[in-house]
Structure 1
Amino acid sequence: MKFVVIGLSVSSSWGNGHATTYRALLKELSKLGHDILFLEKDVPYYAANRDMPQPEFCRLGLYQTNEALKNDYEAEVANADVVIVGSYVKQGVEVGQWVTATAQGLTAFYDIDTPVTMAKLEKEDFAYIDPELIASYDLYLSFCGGPILKHLEAYYFSPAARPLYCSVDPDFYFPEENQIKWQLGYLGTYSTDRQPTLEELLNKTARILKDDQFVVAGPQYPEEINWPENVERIQHLPPSLHRQFYNQQRFTLNVTREDMINAGFSPSVRLFEAAACGVPIISDYWEGLTSLFEECTEILIARESADVQRYLKGIDDVARKRIGEQARQKVLKYHTAKARAKELVEHVKEAMDIRKKKTEKSVVTKT
């Protein structure tokens, strides 16, 4: 099939997790024999930080404005078998309206930020999708599973809402025998809703365990944050260094956005990346987490600093490595990019059948 994907970015991972997700998914989709054109808006902050300017698994098209997008790629969109628009695309409502009016094939919305999207919709913040568009897209692909899918169909009239979680590419994320530099590390862009949890689980722990070393990697943290002396800061870590970063930690920390906690069933790509590296994860709790990983044997859950301290000091290296390996095996079985690409194709075929039946029913009704 011919796919056109209009997304936030595949060429630059700076300050966003979308690029990692698209790269892993589209690489495997390409291996399945599908043709892919990825379109992204050419903005200065990504242009200055392009770590994949020429993807091998898809053609890359850059556009300056929506008018340029429409003029330059109308034929590609019209003739594609599947056109996918991602969340956080600039002026996404306008783009989505054009896609659903232009595309002759299946149209889909890929929501990499479903809980955030739902919160925006409730506030009538239609930055990149609105209720009318949800009903117009043939397929709603969601980073979030669970009850929210039924809500999308029942309340927003999506013809088909299906889960398409983030995934990991095991060719890039795997265990390495690196020298351990940090007891606990965290990788993530700054967000106001995650920071209190990061303060409690990592910074507070670091202040108490003064002889241990900790690390936080990611951009956009305010200068006024008072980091403990034993917390190393890394401003930006490109995906090419993620594997090494994880493998230099005894444990890694997963902290979840507030909207994702409220929605539940919203695993982050960092969760799967760390697990694929065999590094045991200490995570905050949200509904659905233990349906993905078994508590204590595959993941460690912390609600306060005391929990983190207990794990760091009470789990020996044999038990630590066993937890990491068991999580790794779970990810390799269910959450690789290869598995996700196959799921995408199945969702597309199902949505095509739903669309065909709806069209046939409409014809019969009219006659």
Structure 2
Amino acid sequence: MPTITTPVRPLSIGPIELEVPVVLAPMAGITNTAFRRLCREYGAGLYVSEMITSRALVERTPESMRLIRHHESETPRSIQLYGVDPKTVAEAVTMLVAEDRADHIDLNFGCPVPKVTRKGGGAALPWKTDLFRAIVEGATRAAGDVPLTIKMRKGIDGDHLTYLEAGRIAEGAGVASVALHARTASEFYSGQADWSAITKLKETVTSVPVLGNGDIWSADDALRMVDETGCDGVVVGRGCLGRPWLFGDLASAFRGGHRKAEPTLGEVATAFRRHAELLAEFFESEERGCRDIRKHVAWYFKGYPVGGELRAKLATVESLAQLDELLGTLDADTPYPGEGAEGPRGRAGTPKRPALPDGWLDSRELVGDDRARLVDAELDTSGG
């Protein structure tokens, strides 16, 4: 493991002190309380909920209210909101604060999913500087003493970058930190993250922490990002899919250690089973929890000699008892496969022209029918 030359200090996000400057990135359908609890059992840091649509939260839809629940073991409690209307976002923040449902609130301005950007949300929104400013300023005021942060991308594409101006606006609004996924919306998750953009943002935003996100597949990558960019901490997304122990590696690395988890197949199976159990508890349904764990099969067993037939059965499991029976057929002593289990995971997608509202790029301010289009951007419970 490389020696880091940039001093790494505990990360302060408002009043929240993190000994290890690591944040779990919000991922739709992934970072529910079950996965957050599992990752926390292995490491340290801040574990953020999946994206919750502010409108659904204000309307108190059953699904949004379930998604903001935290287990008693989760502290600090962190929730990410997605929204496009300043008034609704502020109302959602006010609700979370008044009802003591969160210790940290993050706003999402980085989602590249077409169903979000084509309506002006996610990574498309900072292009409209007046709207971005109104949302961030209103949310920060509503948050009061609860730290409010933002997560964003470089911009829409290489010709329409927004991150430096958005960083300055957010800093001026009083956010507690700014996180940058060093890709544009058009890149989705393809290619290589442009860490130099994190360096530029760090040079631009100087009064609050700047966090880097993109292509952190190992603790080595995290140390290298901090060293190369000078960022104050890292945000880890796809790198931990099927690898909750990555947070243990990160905690060790940032504390000056050299521990690297190299789990046997039996240890992977134990983590997978624990994840399924926590999902069943979260959904209050064993059947639904087992349905949800299916999408994690390929990530957990990446690189391990688990045959296609068994993988297929795991991907259709219906009960914990059936899961136990299937996992019991594995050779628990099978050693860690090395590089085969490491590196990129999750769908990268391919570079493409972002889906945007008609005429969205014609002006940096809301004009014409822009506001009417934005109304439809918050129809889902989750923003991703």
Which range, TM-score by smaller chain?
0.3 to 0.5
Greater relative contact order: 1 or 2 (C-alpha under 8 angstroms, separation 6 or more)?
2
Give the TM-score normalised by the residue count of structure 1. 0.34
Q: TM-score, normalised by structure 2?
A: 0.33
